[in-house]
Amino acid sequence: MRLELDDVQRDLLLALRAGLGRVAAADGRLDPAEVHSCLAELDLFALELPDDAGGLAFGLDHAAPVCEELGQWAAADPYRAGALFADLLRAPRADGAQHQPRDLDELLPLLATGKLTAGLAAGTGVVATPGTGGWRLHGDCALPDPPPEAAFHLVPVRHGGGTALAVVAVDSPGLGCAPTGRDGVRRLRLAGVTAHALSTPLHDADGLPSPLLVRARIRQAAYLLGLAAGAHRLAVARAVTRRQFDRSIGDNQAVAFPLAEQFARLEAARLLVHEAGWHSDSGGDGGGDSSGSAALGATQSLACTAELALQVTAHAVHVHGAAGIATSSAVQRHYRAAAVEATRWGAPAALWREAGALRLR
């Protein structure tokens, strides 16, 4: 495994950074539609998809830096849900369909160009029951703001075999979507909605996360890493420019040292994320050497980056002083995004328990 980015990864990253830089407002704010067209222009939606779907067939080792860069901007990100959707379509599914229903089959090329996007719901409130004509979904869950033109939502659902991901069309009968008191999060209500497709359970009978979940966790970890690293960069810049008592606030060790510690933790986390991506790309399915498995790598890097994102973004606001709380400041967007993104795939404590159990296997 290489521990530094290679030239292709670096080029990809710089192209995305430049593209986002061109459309960002002065305070770094990005319009979700602009992010989408930037990703589409750079052909990034095709990154992980196979050749025959018009994809570029790169692995997570290339997708992770992209997710990280999106996190660096605290950008609304249509990439992760789209890539997960594509993984779901390509994986064996619980409905046993070896060949996709035609309409689903045609979705991959649309995902590859970014013409199709999806929302990604979170929470445990939806139950799936087998019915005539497919799985029927009932219950409520949270929906962090989906991309503007999302045609589908991916919804975590519980059934006898565990938790799985269901695909529902946004215009399905029985589906309601309403704002909530929580910033950036909507509520999805499902009353007898028919699932277009259902993934296999996200954990197998032994508790091992499925390859689908492993990949989603790694992308999420990369995004969270970026979220934290972006806030950290803003805090460092602030520590240099803000002067009090006739010197930069960063000249005080009480300000400088926590930033240095966080830098080291971010570097450490980045290596964990990349290692996880590497294991996943090279087919580590969680079997074999447990400490080297993709399952463990994905779980621990998500737990680690989720906690880091919460901690580093909060501290970055603190370093900015009261100015950091004003909505005109960039850093508060990272802090607020962390609240939504850090728990999308479960609370960090639960992920740590899962990682611990995987280590003892």
Q: How far is the CB of 125 from other proteins (least distance, A)?
A: 23
Task: Identify any residues that bridge with 144 across adjacent strands, giving them in sequence order.
Answer: 185
Q: Kindly tell me which of 57 and 268 has the beta carbon lying closer to other proteins.
A: 268
Q: Is 300 helix (H, G, I), strand (E, B) or coil?
A: helix
Q: How far is the CB of 272 from other proteins (least distance, A)?
A: 5
Q: Kindly tell me which of 154 and 276 has the beta carbon lying closer to other proteins.
A: 276
Q: Kindly tell me which of 262 and 332 has the beta carbon lying closer to other proteins.
A: 262
Residue 193 has φ and ψ, to the nearest 5°, of -75, 140
Q: Kindly tell me which of 163 and 248 has the beta carbon lying closer to other proteins.
A: 248
Angle, vertex CA 83, rays to CA 19 and CA 198, nearest 5: 155
Q: How far is the CB of 267 from other proteins (least distance, A)?
A: 5
Q: How far is the CB of 349 from other proteins (least distance, A)?
A: 6
Q: How far is the CB of 37 from other proteins (least distance, A)?
A: 26
Q: Kindly tell me which of 136 and 159 has the beta carbon lying closer to other proteins.
A: 159
Q: How far is the CB of 107 from other proteins (least distance, A)?
A: 34
Q: Which residues of this protein are in contact with other proteins, per CB under 8 A?
A: 3-4, 206-208, 233, 236, 239-240, 248, 250, 253, 256-257, 259-261, 263-265, 267-269, 271-272, 275, 291, 296, 299-301, 303-304, 349, 351-361
- CA-CA distances (angstroms) from residue 191 to 18, 38, 126, 173, 299? 44, 36, 10, 8, 32
Sequence-ordered list of residues with C-beta below 8 angstroms from that of 229, at least 6 positions apart, any chain:
68, 71, 72, 266, 270, 312
Residue 295 Ramachandran class (φ > 0 left, ψ -120 to 50 alpha, else beta): alpha
CA distance 274 to 65: 9
CA distance 239 to 64: 29
Q: Kindly tell me which of 97 and 349 has the beta carbon lying closer to other proteins.
A: 349
Strands, E assignment, 76-205: 118-120, 126-131, 134-144, 152-159, 162-169, 175-179, 185-194, 197-198
Q: Kindly tell me which of 27 and 267 has the beta carbon lying closer to other proteins.
A: 267
CA 145 to chain centre: 13
Q: How far is the CB of 256 from other proteins (least distance, A)?
A: 4
